[in-house]
Structure 1
């Protein structure tokens, strides 16, 4: 096995190649360049012979495959003796093949020596007159989708070869930065007579007049303007609000005191959905998310749970309840609801159906709770066969209610009224109508018709409360005939 020397060619100017890198190149007869598309190569041609590995870029479909194949090729070549593998810039700065080669070499017992030259990052900071001691993040343009973007730190994005890549970068960055965030396009950093920089607004990044090539990078300074678009941001804000120097109201809240707000926010979201108001939906979903983070913060402070446990719980549950998606199990989708309920029983450690019925929250609105009870019972076959039977049951409960009303038995009137409502919910379920939604629609319709009545009375210089029932009925019927809904 031969030794692999990995050398850096510097940012592009011949004067910036290290002495060690030049000596390694000039003393080797087996030199392989990841790419000869580098300004330094023109000068190096005068004193060395090399083989370019650029042809791998034409053979493979994506850069990850290119890097993998080049690395395998270099490792195989080392079996025939010592060699030098040269890469642009500094071997340890944004050079994927170097880490792959080192990893493979370690497994095979191959000796690797790395000889540094100045990186293009050093050249960029020098050219832009910026001190890197303030901190920065280096990101490959081809890996930005999975990169963590921190607007509090300056960033350099490499390998922006063309306007198409620049456009993708722009779209990603606009998820975190303001539309008018200033960025700097840097071309040929560290290469005399090629260096250039252009400051543009982020939304202008991919305009046709902006030039990009294999020596292009992007510098984004840290920004006080930002988009808060991760749950982590909300966690930090809530932690601050609950801290000793935070808000007195937030600090005194408990799981119990917050219950009503979660219910209120949920109903406000429902209203936004009914109104088809997207902006309102965004706001109300944020309010609900706030409640989740609020409870997680309290749970963390008390030492019982945190957001990570909540997320892990729901992810685990979703995977478990969708075995046909995540475990390739065959499931009859006709009976999927039954399977779903069985999986829930398994998670909860329930041994019978009644335990599942008792698990339904007591605080649910009565119509919703009744529908859930009936639905769970129907999954094991305890249900009416035909809608006609459901209607017959309603008629039966209605007659029993009338009988108790005639007898004046208050206790049984309440019971029979409940039975009648329960059977009406059953009818709604058979008709595939949400009883809660249906009743809310009727309540709104009543309000609209009542408003019509009151406005009509006012036009006649009257008040509804001063009118006879017959006069009120006349206005009501008029509202109906005008199709006030």
Structure 2
């Protein structure tokens, strides 16, 4: 029975290989390298040290896991046949080296002697270059393992062996589940070598570096405690409890349809908070809206239709698909081109739609519905090129409404009034103002001014009928002035 000695080639050239390791390689009858693609291997060749490498397995096997298992199996089989094997890995044998674990396990079952010799890893170079002290907490993993486990963002993290752009993209998407897309990370390219490069960049950009290879690593600083990670779990748990037997009788009997009006009202309350520019109120109203969303998802989960996670996963995948200029290799010039791409992707996704106007919900508020219908028609060229004919059309529709009013025909009046409103919506589009939101603002303005007049009337202990319209108009002007000053 032979033996196995596992050594490390260090992070760069021969200058960082220990003397003991170098002597072992010089004396080895069977020196096996996990890969010959390492800076120190050139120095081995120059020194006349003979070796064998397992690089052919990387070309033959489809998955890295299979490569590592094949290498480990071959090393142990050689020892079983009586060979004394010196097995060399990049860096240190005890840092992010999967084959070492496989070899130790296989060798133990065959009672083969395994000795592991200390070696310098690239981490020592990293600590020095980045000023990182591992005593503060540091997770070290390789890119392939990261896709199988949750990223630990509470401590710093070093992700080794990005291998290629595809692997970097997988790492990016995994990290994005725990970190903001623009979280600053550090890409380490050929650390410790003459061609070393260190990039500070937002997380979403890491797979845009075409020079990424097997000597590229990623350092992810710990997420500060103040950036507490977002979770829906507490809210989901409360809704589940309210809907469970013994929960709230009102919540238990609700359905998607009975909550329909609540959802609409919450959306408008969010809009109002935005218009008030009140952060505290906006936070509260967004919470109320989120509660409605979680409530609907919970009801769907109870009947096996879908879950809250399906909702989150669905919209996440959609955002990735519709932003190929961020998550893919598409290049765009400006926001206008982004919208064009978005619409093109959306059309491919919604191929079942036959009409240009499909996709506008029938229950939208009328002004909003008109706005969306006109926008869709505009996309195929069915619209005026500038605002001038819109003004002319509005004048024409108002004249027709006057004629209808003079006729006393109610159906005709309603029809012509609808045309006026529809044209006003078209005018709002050319003026780049949402008609629905503009009318909401006017409603709010009217409510505030009328309330002001109402308080004045009450303060004088009189009835509305005691005031002439001229006096009320004067109070209206006061309300406008008060509103402007405040």
Relative to the length of structure 2, the TM-score reads 0.55
Partner of residue 142, structure 1: 139
1:401 aligns with 2:401: yes
Match of 1:405, SS state, is: helix
Q: For 2:21 and 2:256, how far apart are their aligned partners in 1? A: 65
| Cα RMSD for the two superposed structures | 4.7
1:445 aligns with 2:442: no
Q: Superposition pairs for residues 45-56 of structure 1, below 5 Å?
A: 51=20
Partner of residue 454, structure 1: 454
Partner of residue 200, structure 2: none
Shift of 1:433: 1.2
Shift of 1:82: 5.1
Deviates more, 1:408-417 or 1:95-104: 95-104
Shift of 1:327: 3.1
Q: 1:278 to 1:479 in 2, by over 3 A?
A: closer
Shift of 1:301: 1.7
**For structure 2, which runs of at least 5 residues remain unmatched after alignment?**
11-17, 23-36, 45-51, 54-74, 117-135, 158-177, 179-227
Q: For 2:242 and 2:95, how far apart are their aligned partners in 1? A: 42
Q: For 1:277 and 1:52, how far apart are their aligned partners in 2? A: 66
Match of 2:258, SS state, is: helix
Shift of 1:412: 0.8
Partner of residue 264, structure 2: 263
Q: For 1:300 and 1:243, how far apart are their aligned partners in 2? A: 13
Q: For 1:232 and 1:367, how far apart are their aligned partners in 2? A: 37
Partner of residue 102, structure 1: 101
Partner of residue 349, structure 1: 351
Q: Superposition pairs for residues 339-418 of structure 1, below 5 Å?
A: 339-350=341-352, 352-354=354-356, 357-418=357-418
Q: 1:399 to 1:105 in 2, by over 3 A?
A: farther
Match of 1:234, SS state, is: helix
Shift of 1:365: 1.5
Shift of 1:32: 7.8
Q: 1:259 to 1:454 in 2, by over 3 A?
A: closer
Partner of residue 468, structure 2: 468
Q: Deviations over 1:396-447 (max 9, x none)?
A: 0000000000000100100100100110111111111121222222222222
Q: How many residue pairs are counted as aligned between the two chains?
A: 330
Partner of residue 317, structure 1: 318
Q: For 1:251 and 1:5, how far apart are their aligned partners in 2? A: 66
Q: Superposition pairs for residues 186-205 of structure 1, below 5 Å?
A: none
Runs of 4+ in 1 over 6 A off after TM superposition: 31-34, 104-107, 111-116, 143-146
Q: 1:324 to 1:97 in 2, by over 3 A?
A: closer
Relative to the length of structure 1, the TM-score reads 0.55
Partner of residue 276, structure 1: 277
Match of 2:139, SS state, is: helix
CA contact (8 A) 2:273 2:281 kept: yes
Shift of 1:312: 3.0
**For structure 1, which runs of at least 5 residues remain unmatched after alignment?**
7-30, 35-48, 54-67, 86-90, 117-138, 160-174, 176-226
Match of 1:364, SS state, is: coil
Deviates more, 1:417-426 or 1:278-287: 278-287
Partner of residue 122, structure 1: none
CA contact (8 A) 1:32 1:51 kept: no
Match of 1:359, SS state, is: coil
Q: Superposition pairs for residues 79-228 of structure 1, below 5 Å?
A: 81=84, 96-97=95-96, 99=98, 101-102=100-101, 141-142=138-139
Match of 2:259, SS state, is: helix
Q: 1:329 to 1:452 in 2, by over 3 A?
A: same
Q: 1:51 to 1:271 in 2, by over 3 A?
A: farther
Q: 1:141 to 1:246 in 2, by over 3 A?
A: farther
Q: Deviations over 1:317-336 (max 9, x none)?
A: 22332233333235565454
Deviates more, 1:261-270 or 1:407-416: 261-270
Q: For 1:282 and 1:329, how far apart are their aligned partners in 2? A: 35
CA contact (8 A) 2:96 2:140 kept: no
Partner of residue 134, structure 1: none
Partner of residue 300, structure 1: 301
